[in-house]
Amino acid sequence: MKMTMTQKILAKHANLEFVEPGQLIMADLDMVLGNDITTPVAVNEFNKMGINSVFNKEKIAIVPDHFCPNKDIKSAEQVKFIREFAKEKKIPNFFEVGQMGIEHALLPELGLVTAGDVVIGADSHTCTYGALGAFSTGVGSTDMASGMATGKAWFKVPEAIKFVLKGKLNEDICGKDLILHIIGMIGVDGALYKSMEFMGEGVKTLSIDDRFTIANMAIEAGAKNGIFPVDEITLEYINEHSKKPFEIFKADEDAIYCKEYIIDLSEIKMTVAFPHLPDNTRTIDEVGDVEIDQAVIGSCTNGRIEDMRAAAKVLKGHKIHSRVRCIIFPATQEIWKQAMNEGLFEIFIDAGAAISTPTCGPCLGGHMGVLAKGERAISTTNRNFVGRMGHPESEVYLASPAVAAASAILGKIASPDQV
């Protein structure tokens, strides 16, 4: 019986020898995650179940990162409510401002998710941990509540699309360009209900940060999860960050995939997604003249140390265009410290950029960089829907940190070699 990597992880967690696409299973959960927007709803639903204790307090993580540090009284009340829940249930993995980071950068950094895990999170970008060879997927608040109560979740076993990566990305091209290229190719529902399984010789040329970015945006193609095989690079990251036991799953050689794409990494160009869908992509040479008002560098997609370095490499010795507000937000306190120690903040500040504490704020138009009517932003975040970063008549263009930094300098969407 042949299975994909995702199917093998799900089978193991459902105590089954074999699972097949379409099969409904109950799987054991290794981690249940929520944030300050989704957890309040989950706590209310949890309380309705008439269950007193959570299934395992070590296997729950609550990260108030969206409207934090709190932007208004209502969001402060929401965090107060979940803080009290975490305290009452003695959940150790509640992260206060000061320890908090953007959830999908924080959990891997703290070693709370690892290879072979099954993870659900009440946040759509929970699929990020596929970079570590875990099955992880976004769910809603009621699923989070039921996960906290029972330690289980129901899944329909997904079919898989195979992405065979060959070659190597050129200099200044990164994981963001690759995943935007893929979404542009297959569409925002191109992987609906399916898993995106990355494999091939090219994988070993991708850094762990690139893999996080790629798995993070699997949801933007509608996928249930995105997943990478575990190799030397994964093991190095896991050994550095996690003490949890882990298990390496490998897809069977002759596993069945519903579709297969072969991608030559050396052919990937810098890619930008135009409003208002992530699949509306153009390569940098097709962009034309697009003036911008704001550049946002950070988020669960591109707020890691390599992203900070890529932005600094372009910004070094340059000034942000007088019309542009450039906001840089490293995703965790640890990344913040590392960027500071590497001298990147001096480059950012000298260029005229603002550096923010970790928050999801600007990505979803919450706070710390909301757009006015008619304004345009280039952003290293993951969505460019209508009104995503503010006014319904504002526009968001998605790109890599290098392109966002170059655009901030020139005041229009540009590639680093134009700087």
* 207 lies in the binding site for other proteins (CB under 8 A): no
The rounded distance, in Å, linking the Cα atoms of 387 and 364 is 9
The rounded distance, in Å, linking the Cα atoms of 120 and 199 is 23
* 19 lies in the binding site for other proteins (CB under 8 A): no
Sign of the Cα torsion 329, 335, 340, 345 reads: negative
Q: Dig out the tokens for 165 from the structure.
A: 């990566």
* 364 lies in the binding site for other proteins (CB under 8 A): yes
The one-letter code for the residue type at 271 is T
Least distance from C-beta 220 to other proteins, angstroms?
Answer: 8
Least distance from C-beta 389 to other proteins, angstroms?
Answer: 9
- Which three-class secondary structure state does DSSP give residue 262? strand
The size of the interface with other proteins (CB under 8 A), counted in residues, is 52
Cβ proximity of 137 and 216 under 8 Å? no
39-to-12, 42, 93, 128, 372 alpha-carbon distances in Å:
28, 5, 13, 19, 29
The 89-128 contact track toward other proteins, x by CB under 8 A, reads --------------------------------xxxx-x--
Cβ proximity of 56 and 151 under 8 Å? yes
Residue closer to other proteins, measured from CB, 72 or 350:
72
Please name every residue paired with 398 in a beta bridge, in sequence order, or none if there are none: 273, 379
Least distance from C-beta 146 to other proteins, angstroms?
Answer: 5
Binds other proteins (CB under 8 A): choice among 17, 74, 171, 317:
74
Least distance from C-beta 195 to other proteins, angstroms?
Answer: 11
* Closest-CA residue to 275 (of 383, 410, 391, 401): 383
The rounded distance, in Å, linking the Cα atoms of 59 and 61 is 7
* 362 lies in the binding site for other proteins (CB under 8 A): no
Cβ proximity of 168 and 205 under 8 Å? yes
Binds other proteins (CB under 8 A): choice among 205, 283, 385, 411:
385
Residue closer to other proteins, measured from CB, 74 or 243:
74
The 214-243 contact track toward other proteins, x by CB under 8 A, reads -----x--x-x-------------------
Residue closer to other proteins, measured from CB, 67 or 85:
67
Please name every residue paired with 189 in a beta bridge, in sequence order, or none if there are none: none
* 145 lies in the binding site for other proteins (CB under 8 A): yes
* 373 lies in the binding site for other proteins (CB under 8 A): no
CB neighbour class for 399 (10 Å; exposed up to 12, middle 13-18, buried from 19): buried
Looking only at residues 314 through 353 of this chain, which bind other proteins when binding is defined by CB under 8 A? none
Cβ proximity of 299 and 363 under 8 Å? yes
Query: Which span sits near other proteins by CB under 8 A: 72-80, 297-305, 334-342, 343-351?
Result: 72-80
User: Which positions touch other proteins (CB under 8 A)?
Assistant: 24, 37-38, 40-41, 44-45, 48-51, 66-67, 71-72, 74-75, 78, 121-124, 126, 138-143, 145-146, 149-150, 154, 188-189, 192-193, 219, 222, 224, 277, 364-366, 370, 383, 385-388, 392
